[in-house]
Amino acid sequence: MSIGRYRNAGLFVLLGLLFGSSFVAIKAGLDALPPVFFAALRFDVAAPLLVAYAAWRYDDWIPRTRADFASLVVGAATIVAANNGLLFLGQRTITPAAASVMYGLNPILSPAFAFLLLGQRLDLRGIVGICLGLVGVVIIVQPSPETITSGSTVGQLYVLAAAAVIALGSVFMRRLDATVESIPLTGWAMALGALLLHGWSLAIGESAAGTTPTTTLVLAVLVVAIPSTAAAYPIYFTLIRRIGPVRTNLAAYVVPIVAAITGWLLLDEPVTLATAIGFCVVVAGVALLERRVVAAELARLSP
């Protein structure tokens, strides 16, 4: 296995760990902060750090071409603003484990969007894999006339919409193929995305006035903003370029494991049987959809 492949594998696992820990920190912060405002605050902290690092590290750190600006806008609108706003809204009423599993649908959606936007073909097994993923989501949500308007179901649908948005955004980013490096592009996308989130927060009448900055709240904001954003998002954008959006979004299957363990340890959040079964069904769908990738990686790991 080449050094580059080891590096990508390491970044892949690290991305799952960083994103997985964010679900618990988001849940803790939502006890005190409005959801969309909290999402904006995440990037208020992370964006200046990343832009400053890009200015120090790279000679060419300012977007210049049409593809650069298009990628910046797409990343800010989808991966940063819409994705995070919907995710934070959804996590008000569901556990970190359930949210992470619902969010994990994006590896199922990415191939569908890649087929539509990049011309990547899907065979019958791929279509069956996508259907299995949707069955897993139904097992988790358990929709019925009595539950469809409940807080938890609405929260799950918000998170599901966030998964669709990030899958679509990641495919668009690959199609646009910006020339500026991933880290500067990520920093600028975060800065624009933060402005969009603040506008959204104001439009729906959120206010953080009177919020007391407790130790738990400060730690939650810092965990979400620095390791789970300033560190994780550049890794995400980098892997999209290196291995493509479909393989990158497979990191979503490390996330539920990390989220479930940390949620149980830190917040005493339970993991329901429906969530566990649904997760297994969704993973089976992804394994079928990406069977060639899975088989190749298993072959490399075997002695």
- Contact status, residue 38 vs residue 26, Cβ threshold 8 Å: yes
Closest CA to 199 of 98, 282, 76: 76
Work out the pLDDT band at 120, boundaries 50, 70, 90. low
Tokens of 149: 């308007």
More confident residue, 73 or 263: 73
- Asked if the model's pLDDT at residue 220 lies above 80, the reply is yes
pLDDT of residue 301: 47
Work out the pLDDT band at 135, boundaries 50, 70, 90. confident
Range in 26-40, 75-89, 205-219, 275-289 the model is least confident about? 275-289
- Asked if the model's pLDDT at residue 126 lies above 70, the reply is no
pLDDT in tens, 145-174: 444 444 577 888 888 889 888 888 877 777
Work out the pLDDT band at 202, boundaries 50, 70, 90. very high
Work out the pLDDT band at 85, boundaries 50, 70, 90. very high
Q: Which residues of 107-141 are buried (b: 16+ CB within 10 A; e: fewer)?
A: bbbbbbbbbeeeebeeeeebeebbebbeebbebbb
pLDDT of residue 179: 83
Q: What is the mean pLDDT of the chain?
A: 78
pLDDT of residue 147: 46
CA separation for the pair 97, 85 (Å, rounded): 18
pLDDT of residue 16: 78
pLDDT of residue 252: 66
pLDDT of residue 148: 45
pLDDT of residue 115: 67
Closest CA to 80 of 195, 2, 244, 204: 195
More confident residue, 281 or 162: 162
pLDDT in tens, 1-34: 455 556 776 777 788 788 878 888 888 889 889 9
More confident residue, 208 or 44: 44
Contacts of 159 (CB under 8 A, 6+ apart): 86, 87, 90, 91, 94, 99, 102, 103
Range in 36-40, 81-85, 204-208 the model is least confident about? 204-208
Tokens of 202: 């104001």
